[in-house]
């Protein structure tokens, strides 16, 4: 009897599942999608009913070949990618690629990778859900149509290389609109008055002016504050009313995807993308000692708060035993289904609460432990009793003015014993203890001090990753599986950037957004995008035709596109005249658009290539930014070198440009002075022109470039002296940079996609025989200590590098 073949999308998932299934099953990984629309053409037959033209993804031919061979020998094939639209599409593409190779093809689905869940899934296999596949195809084709048709328009009107996305562009619009609100916001002054008071017993306490003459206190300026102070100066402060209440605070539901991304951002400082990467590892399986590899959490792409009955039984038993019966509600808590939730999966929870975070901490990396702890704490807390707080509100009268003091004590911590929900500008969403002294109505109070304070109203805050995910969810834009990708894409396309953990639109983002909003009001409308998400859900439920949905969208979109070709502002040709005169040729200078936004250029271009940076003041007037002169001389023509700003920051450039195109990086010397980086010459000779090769610095790190540039543009990667660890690859490892972060990759990219965040070494692991070890760093106090470790997470090999303290790069 032949083995059954099981196909999943992830190698780590394959390893975990293989442990549960036994010797009669062979588990292989497709490593994600195996087929997709072609990159260099639309790949959709619009006239033929929107029939997609799928091709094998580059590099996946070998994977498919191996899957076909295994299917030939198998009695049955079980397709087990994730249970969502993308997973269903992966299963469908693999089944299609197999053709008649397999005798029987089944679809197995599970919410967690545990022995019980896997056994149940294989006892009850199903078939591929065509409706879910069609929903994925509809989304993919919608996004392809928008990107493929709209991007060339942006290339024509703005510059080449730009792209637009159906959902991502709406996210950029939200960021741009918030920025516009901030710019027009007019701050208003207001004042508060706080009194520090004392009763007959400690502690002293604060009370804030709340009412004047029975109406809400409004103090617009210092004059009003001074009049109030004069009216209450020397007057008696007496307790007029005391109100005591008992306040219950209920726990929150276990995590959905969006809530997990928000909390991980606020509490752990994780990006949405990082949260999903760490969660994916926890879901697919981690080796936890004698138990071996097991999935630690349920599926992490979900909008449901539902929890399985056996999980509720287990967590209630743990609460009763660990925290006591006083913390256990009479019956399990059920949480309301969110608006528009699909409810296909359970909430995100531990696969077993008996694996508490501390018991498996030694088997998790730092990020994995912190995220698992967050998920475990929230799930346990969600099934505990409410917290009970005693609150006291005291009204204090003084000459027609009412001050209010509030205090609270925690009577019963309830779920707060385990978990507190984070808020945007603080750690805990629950108040702690704030004590007031014993007070009675009619008590006369001692005034220690009265303090007036000036305040100003603040504009709405820029979006953080957490608040942007919340906004997308509330508006119905995207789905749990897409939030992280949306946030990454808008940054990768340089339409928005995070500064101090807040999204700022780039000049490019503002420009592209304004053009698209004007020409495609429906496409960039949040309600329209949410309705389209709803239509995709209807396709998945079998209530809508996917090709009909595509046709309705396409007809309207193409009509808008044709109109935009003639009406959209042509930024390339659009110039704004100024009263600035070019000091080089005497011609007028005009405002143009460049990669970094607006700049001033000579109207006589290309005969005169003089340019300047500028700022606009509050009245919109142009303020020329003076060029920063330096003491540096051009090594090629002895001209003056000045500081300029380019795509990747500031640099030194020769003032004799364009005749001399010499540039230099800026570096900081040991005295803190900014100077030009010295040219790093090497012994290597350019094989194209015979000139010396020098070390250059680019967006992705160091590389070798010909010193004869720009006549010779030959470049090469720089080896770190380590061969590529991948089998059958003759490349070498190079250091690269992306978004300010260093990593290591193969010189044969994209043919070889080996990458690693730590520096590889030409040394095999002595414990597991892995092909290489890595240099890593461990923080101790203010220093980073280097050690050598095995990159295989299931191998614990490491050794210290004696007496070596280093700064982590």
Radius of gyration (C-alpha) of the chain in whole angstroms = 32
Residue 331 DSSP class:
S
Give the whole-angstrom CA distance, residue 168 versus residue 472: 10
**Of residues 627, 207, 578, 184, the one with CA closest to residue 392:** 207
709 catalytic, yes or no?
no
Q: What's the CA gap between 395 and 376, in Å, rounded?
A: 42
- Any residues with CB less than 8 A from the CB of 607 and at least 6 apart, and which? 585
Q: Which residue is catalytic, options 106, 299, 419, 463?
A: 299
Q: What is the DSSP string of 636-683?
A: TT--EEEEEEETTEEEEEETTTTT---EE-EEE-TTS-EEEPPPEEEE
CA 695 to chain CA centroid, Å, is 33
The 10 Å Cβ neighbour count of residue 727 is: 6
The two tokens of residue 239 are: 């307790």
CA pair distance 767, 789, nearest whole angstrom: 11
Q: How far is CA 621 from each of CA 443, 611, 615, rounded to the nearest angstrom?
A: 62, 18, 8
278 prior amide bond cis, ω within 30? no
What are the CA-CA distances from residue 251 to residues 81, 585, 706 (Å)?
34, 71, 64
Nearest to 430 by CA among 441, 417, 439, 443: 417
Q: Which of 563, 561, 564 is nearest to 553 (CA)?
A: 561
Joined together, the tokens standing for residue 65 give 């070949």
Quick check: 526 and 477 in contact, CB under 8 A?
Answer: yes
Instruction: Identify the three-state secondary structure at position 179.
Output: helix
* 41 neighbors 20 (Cβ within 8 angstroms): no
Give the number of other CB atoms < 10 A from CB of residue 277: 14
> Contact at 8 Å (CB) between 698 and 646?
no
Half-sphere exposure of 155 (CA within 13 A, CB side): 9
Q: What are phi and psi of 552, to 5 degrees?
A: -60, -45
Tell me the C-alpha to C-alpha distance, in Å, between residue 583 and each of 84, 105, 316, 608, 645.
63, 75, 79, 11, 20
Q: Are 633 and 618 in contact (CB under 8 A)?
A: no
Bridge partners for 697 per DSSP: 702
Of 780, 762, 784, the closest CA to residue 772 belongs to 762
**Angstrom distance (rounded) from CA 278 to CA 35:** 26
Place of tokens 């394959």: 14
Residues recorded for the chain: 809
CB-CB contact of 353 with 379 (8 Å) = yes
- List the beta bridge partners of residue 527: none
**Which residue numbers are catalytic?**
299
């Amino acid at each position: 009897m032949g083995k059954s073949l099981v196909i999943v999308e992830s190698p780590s998932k394959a390893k975990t599942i293989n442990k549960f299934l036994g010797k009669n099953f062979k588990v292989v990984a497709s490593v994600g999608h195996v087929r997709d629309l072609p990159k260099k053409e639309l790949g959709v037959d619009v006239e033929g009913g929107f029939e997609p033209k799928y091709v094998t993804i580059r590099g996946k031919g070998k994977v498919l070949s191996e899957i076909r061979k295994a299917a030939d020998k198998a009695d049955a094939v079980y397709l087990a990618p994730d249970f969502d639209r993308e997973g269903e599409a992966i299963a469908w593409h693999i089944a299609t690629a197999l053709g008649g190779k397999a005798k029987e093809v089944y679809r197995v689905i599970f919410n967690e990778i545990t022995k019980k869940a896997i056994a149940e899934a294989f006892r009850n296999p199903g078939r591929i859900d065509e409706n879910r596949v069609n929903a994925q195809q509809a989304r993919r084709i919608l996004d392809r149509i928008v990107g493929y048709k709209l991007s060339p328009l942006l290339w024509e009107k703005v510059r080449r290389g730009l792209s637009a996305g159906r959902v991502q562009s709406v996210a950029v619009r939200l960021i741009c609109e918030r920025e516009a609100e901030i710019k027009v916001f007019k701050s208003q002054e207001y004042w508060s008055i706080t009194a520090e008071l004392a009763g007959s017993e400690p502690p002293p306490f604060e009370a804030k002016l709340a009412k004047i003459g029975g109406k809400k206190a409004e103090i617009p300026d210092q004059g009003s504050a001074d009049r109030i102070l004069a009216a209450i100066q020397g007057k008696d402060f007496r307790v007029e009313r005391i109100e005591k209440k008992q306040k219950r605070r209920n726990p929150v539901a276990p995590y959905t995807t969006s809530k997990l991304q928000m909390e991980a951002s606020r509490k752990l400082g994780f990006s949405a993308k990082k949260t999903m990467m760490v969660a994916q590892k926890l879901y697919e399986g981690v080796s936890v000692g004698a138990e071996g590899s097991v999935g630690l959490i349920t599926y992490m792409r979900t909008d449901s708060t539902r929890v399985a009955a056996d999980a509720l039984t287990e967590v209630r038993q743990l609460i009763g035993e660990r925290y006591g019966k006083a913390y256990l509600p009479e019956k399990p808590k059920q949480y309301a289904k969110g608006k528009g939730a699909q409810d296909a999966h359970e909430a995100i929870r531990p696969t077993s609460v008996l694996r508490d975070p501390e018991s498996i901490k030694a088997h998790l990396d730092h990020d994995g432990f912190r995220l698992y702890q967050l998920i475990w704490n929230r799930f346990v807390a969600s099934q505990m009793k409410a917290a009970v707080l005693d609150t006291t509100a005291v009204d204090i009268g003084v000459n027609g003015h009412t001050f209010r003091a509030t205090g609270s004590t925690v009577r019963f911590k309830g779920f707060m014993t385990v978990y507190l929900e984070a808020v945007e500008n603080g750690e805990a969403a629950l108040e702690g203890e704030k004590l007031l002294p014993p007070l009675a109505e009619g008590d006369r109070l001692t005034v220690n001090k009265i303090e007036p304070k000036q305040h100003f109203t603040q504009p709405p805050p820029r979006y953080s990753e957490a608040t942007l995910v919340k906004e997308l969810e509330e508006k119905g834009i995207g789905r749990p599986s897409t939030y992280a990708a949306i946030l990454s894409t808008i940054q990768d396309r340089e339409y928005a950037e995070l500064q101090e953990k807040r999204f700022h639109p780039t000049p490019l983002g503002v420009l592209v957004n304004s053009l698209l909003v004007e020409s495609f009001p429906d496409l960039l409308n949040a309600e329209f995008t949410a309705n389209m998400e709803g239509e995709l859900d209807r396709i998945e439920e079998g209530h809508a035709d996917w090709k009909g949905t595509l046709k309705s969208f396409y007809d309207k979109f193409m009509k808008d596109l044709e109109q935009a070709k003639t009406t959209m502002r042509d930024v390339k040709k659009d110039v704004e005249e100024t009263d600035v005169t070019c000091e080089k040729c005497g011609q007028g200078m005009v405002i143009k658009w460049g990669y970094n936004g607006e700049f001033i250029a000579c109207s006589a271009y290309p005969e005169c290539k003089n340019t300047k940076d500028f700022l606009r003041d509050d009245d919109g007037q142009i303020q020329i930014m003076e060029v920063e002169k330096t003491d540096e001389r051009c090594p090629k023509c002895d001209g003056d070198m000045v500081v300029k700003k380019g795509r990747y920051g500031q640099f030194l450039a020769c003032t004799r440009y364009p005749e001399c195109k010499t540039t230099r990086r800026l570096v900081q010397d040991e005295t803190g002075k900014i100077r030009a980086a010295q040219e790093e010459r090497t012994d290597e000779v350019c094989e194209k022109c015979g000139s010396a090769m020098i070390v250059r610095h680019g967006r992705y790190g160091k590389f070798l470039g010909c010193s004869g540039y720009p006549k010779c543009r030959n470049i090469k990667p720089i080896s770190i002296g380590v061969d590529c660890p991948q089998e059958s690859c003759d490349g070498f490892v190079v250091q690269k940079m992306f978004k300010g972060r260093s990593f290591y990759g193969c010189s044969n990219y994209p043919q070889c996609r080996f990458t690693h965040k730590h520096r590889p070494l030409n040394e095999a692991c002595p414990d597991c025989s892995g092909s290489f070890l890595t240099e890593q760093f461990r923080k101790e106090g203010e220093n980073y200590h280097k050690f050598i470790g095995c990159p295989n997470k299931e191998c614990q090999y490491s050794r210290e590098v004696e007496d070596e303290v280093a700064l982590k790069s």
